[in-house]
Chain A
Amino acid sequence: MSASTQVTVLWGPIALAGRPEPSNDQTMRTAAPAPALTRLAGRLRSELGSGSVITDEAARRTYECDGLTHYRSVPALVVLPDDAAGVQAVVRACHELGVPWVARGAGTGLSGGALPVADGVLIVTSRMRRVLELDLVNAVAVVEPGVANLAISQAVAAEGWFYAPDPSSQQVCTIGGNVAENSGGAHCVKYGFTVHHVIGMEVCTPAGELVWLGGRHADPPGYDLRGVFIGSEGTLGVATKVAVRLLRRPEAVVTLLAAFRTVADAGAATSAIIAAGLTPAAAEIMDALAIQAAERAVACDYPAGAGAVLIVELDGPAIEVEQEESTVRDLCQAAGAFEIRVAADSVERAEIWKGRKSAFAAVGRISPDYIVQDGVIPRTALAKVLAEIDALAAAAGIRVANVFHAGDGNLHPLVLYDAAVTGALAAAEEVSGAILDLCVSHGGSITGEHGVGVDKAAKLPRMFGPDDLDTMQLVRCAFDPRGLANPGKVFPTPRLCGEQPRHRSAGDATEAAARRVGIEAW
C-alpha cells in the first residue's frame, strides 16, 4: 500500500475554509499514532526536550492545514526543533522507525504542500529564526529556515541591500518554505525566483544526514542538487540553513498605475512594453471585479470606471528609469489608458500597491468563498485566454476575478462561490480546473508559484507524460527511496525505487490498515 493511497483516504472529502463541515467524514477525524509514533515521541522528548514535542490533540490540530484550508489532516506528532541538529534528530528517528514526515514553515502555502500526514510527524521550523551571518562584502546572508522572507531584507536595508524574491506573504512566509516552493513574487519578472537567489543550503536528507547543496560561492563541483532541491516541495528533505544572495537597492524606483477600460487593453499595453525591450521590475493587472473587491476591503481609490488597472514598476539606474517611465506612459496611452498615476514617493507607491497586495483577501468582501488559482500562459496568449476564462465563467454562471503577474503570464484567477449553496463548490472547482486546462493547452503551466502540493498532484499528468514523471522521481529515489519526506505531494503516483521492495511483516500490514481508517488509539 503506497503512502499516497493511504493519505488519499484520509484527505477524502474536503472541509471548507471557515465553514467546518459536520465531522461525520474522515477528514476531521484524527488519525491516532501507531506504536512507532509513541516510541518516536518518547525518543524526541528526551533528545529535544519535551517543550519541543507536541502530542496534545488540540495543539496538533492548529497545524492541520496550510494556506489551502480545503485540505486538513491532523499530524500525529508536531515537533519544533531549535536548530539543524534538532531537525536531524527528528528526521533520523523517522528514518529509523519508518515514519513519514512533513516540514512546515509559516504555513502560508496555497497548494497544501505542508498538509500534514495523519500518521506522521510535522516538523515546524518556527523556532529556527536566527540570521546566522550577514556577509555584506560578499553580498551573502546565511539564515535559518524559519526566518521570514521580509526579515532578510529588513536586516540589510540600512546598508542599502535587499533580498529579491518577494511573495505576497513575505511578512510571514519563511525562507525554508520559499526554498521548498521556489517562491517568486511580483518582482520575479525581472529578478527571478528563489532558485536564482538561494546559492546554497544545508539540508537534512530523508536519511537524516546534514549536507550542503550549493554553497557560499558559485559553481561548487558536481551536480547542481541545490537547483533541483529548490522547488521540490519538501519531498527531497528539509533545508536547515539557507545562504542567499543579496542585491544592492536600485538607484531609482518608479511605480506607475494605468487605468484601462478593458483587461485586453491592459494586456496589450503590457505586450507593448515588453516588445519595446523593457524589463519592468513588475507588471501586474487587476480586472474590474478584483478592483471592486480591493476598493471594498482597503479603499485603494483606483481610478473610477476602470475595467482594469496595470501597475508597472521600473527600477534601476535613475537615468534609465526616467526614460523607461516616459516610454511606458506613451505605450499605455497608445493602448487606451484613460488615467495614469505615478507614485511620487514611497508612501504613494505603497498606496498603489495596497490594492494589488490585498487582492486575494479582499475577494472575501464580495464572495463568501473563493478558490485562488495559479496558472501560467505564454504572455502572448493573454488576451485570448482571458476571453476564454470569461466564456467559461459565463457558461457556468460563476464569477471569476482576475489578478495576475502580466509580465510573466502568471494568472491568479479567483473563482467565487458560496459554499452554502448546494453544488456551488463543485461548479467552482470545475471552472478552476478548466482554467488550468486552458493554461496547459496554450503551452503554459498548472502552477507558476504556488506549487503542486496535494492540490494539483492529480493534474501534473496534464503537463507531463508518464516517462517525464517517472524520470523526475528518479531524483526522489536518490534522495528518499522510502518516500518518507512529504509523501503524497507533487506526484500522483509514487515510483518504486528499484531497491529491494520494503519488507512488510503482517504487523506492518495491520498498521497500514489502521492508518488508512485512523482508528488506532494513542
Chain B
Amino acid sequence: MVNGIRTETPTTTAEVAQVLRSAATDGARVLVRGAGTTLHWGGSPSHVDIELDTRGLTGVVAHEPGDLVATVRAGTRLVEFQEALGEAGQRLSLSAGSPEATVGGVLASGETGPLRLRHGAGRDLLIGVEFVRADGVVARSGGRVVKNVAGYDLGKVLCGSYGTLGVITTATFRLHPRPRARAWVVADVPTLSQLDAPLRAAATSTVAPSAVEVDLPGSGDTVATLAVMIEGSPAGVDARCAALQQVLRGSATSTTPPEWWGRYPFGPADVALRLSVGVAALPAAIAQLRSAAGADVPVRGSAGVGVVHATLPGDLSGDALRDTVTTARTGTESAGSVIVLAAPPHLRDSLDLWGPVPGLDLMQRMKAQFDPDGRFVSGRFVGGI
C-alpha cells in the first residue's frame, strides 16, 4: 500500500474479474497498468484506490505456427513473447519503446513500432481479445482465425484506450514469418525542406520497404537521417537495397539499424509529443512545430506512415508549453493531429493534451456504456475520460 493505493496482481482472468467486482462493491477507483512504461502518458489520473497490475497474467497460451496465430496473456512482456515466437521463425510485427513493456500495455497505449508501415499497428494485428469489463464481466470478441467478421471487433476500441474501457487479459495475434534477411538503407538529408522527396520516394517505392523511419536530432552536424528497412531473401534484400540506393542520393546500406532505430526521442522527464499528418505534410508540420518551439527540437519516428514523436524540454513554463502546442496545432486540425503524449504533472494539468477530438461525444457515450460508474480512473484520456 503506497499513499493509500492498494496494488492487486491477479494471475488469472477470474482474479481480474474478482478485483473489479470487489472494487465495485467498495466504490474503489481502479488504475490498470502493465509494466508502467507508458503509465505517465495522458492526463493526470483523478483518484486511484487500486492499481491493477496485469503482470501476473503471463505466458503464451497457444501458438500454432502453421496458422501464423498465437494467443498470449496480457501481462507477458512483448520481448518475451517475441522470443517464444522466434523459436518457430515467426514474429509479432509490433514493438515497444521499452523492453519491459507488456503485450496488454502496448495495445492499451497504442504504441507501435517501425514495422507499422508494412504490417499496421497493434489493432491491425490483434485478431481476438478477452477482457474484463468494469463490472467484472468477462467478454471476448474476434477469435483465433485471421479472417473473421462475426460480431463487433471490440479489440479495435480497446487498442489505444488507455485502459478506460476494460482490462485486456488475453490477446490473439496474427503473426508473420521472420524474414531471412534484412538491411537498412540510410541517407543523410541536408535540410528539412529536402526531406519530402526522398521520404515519399522511399515510402511508396516498389522495393517494398518494411519500415521508413526518420531521425532529426535537433543538434549536432546531422539535420535529418532517413532510414529504410528492407526485408526478404538474402539476394532480394541486396538487390532491393541497391535499387533504393539509386533513388536515395548519398545513401549507404547497413546490416545493422541506426542506434536510434525504434527508440523514442524523449525521456521520461521530457514533454513528449506525437505528430500525425499525411506523409507529404510531414516536413511542414515538423517545421511548424520547431518554429512554434523556437528551437530545433528532436523529432523521430515512422515518417513513412506520417507519425513522428518530438521532444520539448520538461522545464518549459506552462504558458510557453501551451503556446507552443497551440501554435503547432494551428492549421493541422483537418489534416492531422498534435498530441501531447506525456508531460510532467505540473505542466499537463493546465494543458489541452489532445487538441480537437472529432467524435468525442460518441467516445463519451462509449465510456458511459462500458464503465457507467467510472470504475476505471478518469482523467488520463480524451475529454477527461
Contacts and interface: CB of A to CB of B under 8 A. Distances in A.
A447 B145 contact: no
A271 B66 contact: yes
A479 B363 CA distance: 9
A409 B140 contact: no
B156 A463 contact: no
Contact of A225 (B143, B240, B336, B363): B363
A137 B277 CA distance: 12
Interface in B176-209: 176-180, 200, 203-208
Q: Max chain B CB contacts within 10 Å: which of A227, A319, A470, A497?
A: A227
Q: Max chain A CB contacts within 10 Å: which of B147, B334, B357, B361?
A: B147
A471 B166 CA distance: 11
A424 interface: no
B141 A468 contact: yes
A223 B161 contact: yes
Interface string B299-317: 0000001110000000000
A219 B354 CA distance: 11
Q: Max chain A CB contacts within 10 Å: which of B141, B148, B177, B382?
A: B148
Interface in A447-490: 447-452, 456, 460, 463-465, 467-472, 474-479, 490
Contact of A463 (B124, B150, B337): B150
Nearest to A410: B147
Interface in A203-245: 205, 209, 211-213, 215-228, 230-232
B120 A196 contact: yes
For this complex, into which size category does the number of interface residues on chain B fall? Answer: 35 or more
Nearest to A445: B148
B192 to A, nearest CB: 17
Contacts of B137: 467, 470-471
A475 B278 contact: no
Given A137-B200, A498-B372, A478 B362 contact: yes
B157 interface: yes
Given A138-B278, A316-B208, A376 B157 contact: no
Given A216-B335, A218-B307, A468 B278 contact: no
B66 A379 contact: yes
Contacts of B38: none
B339 interface: yes
B143 A138 contact: no
Given A211-B362, A222-B360, A408 B145 contact: yes
A317 interface: yes
B281 A218 contact: no
B363 A184 contact: no
A446 interface: yes
B37 to A, nearest CB: 18
Interface string B271-296: 00010111111000000000000000
B208 A317 contact: yes
Contact of A224 (B123, B274, B335): B123
Contacts of A230: 153
21 contacts: A193-B147, A212-B358, A221-B354, A223-B363, A230-B153, A231-B153, A250-B208, A271-B66, A274-B68, A275-B65, A277-B178, A317-B239, A409-B145, A409-B147, A449-B147, A452-B150, A464-B150, A469-B151, A471-B139, A471-B141, A475-B157
Given A192-B120, A376-B145, A377-B145, 12 more contacts: A216-B336, A219-B274, A279-B177, A319-B233, A379-B67, A445-B143, A447-B148, A452-B149, A456-B150, A477-B369, A479-B362, A498-B369
Closest 9 CB pairs of A and B: A227-B156, A138-B278, A277-B177, A471-B139, A137-B280, A445-B148, A251-B206, A380-B66, A478-B365
Interface of A: 135, 137-140, 181-182, 184, 188-189, 192-193, 195-196, 205, 209, 211-213, 215-228, 230-232, 248-251, 271, 274-275, 277-279, 316-317, 319-320, 323, 376-380, 405, 408-410, 443-452, 456, 460, 463-465, 467-472, 474-479, 490, 497-498
Interface of B: 64-69, 89, 110, 120-121, 123-124, 133, 137-141, 143-154, 156-157, 159-161, 165, 176-180, 200, 203-208, 232-233, 235-236, 239-240, 274, 276-281, 305-307, 334-337, 339, 354-355, 357-363, 365-366, 368-370, 372, 381-383
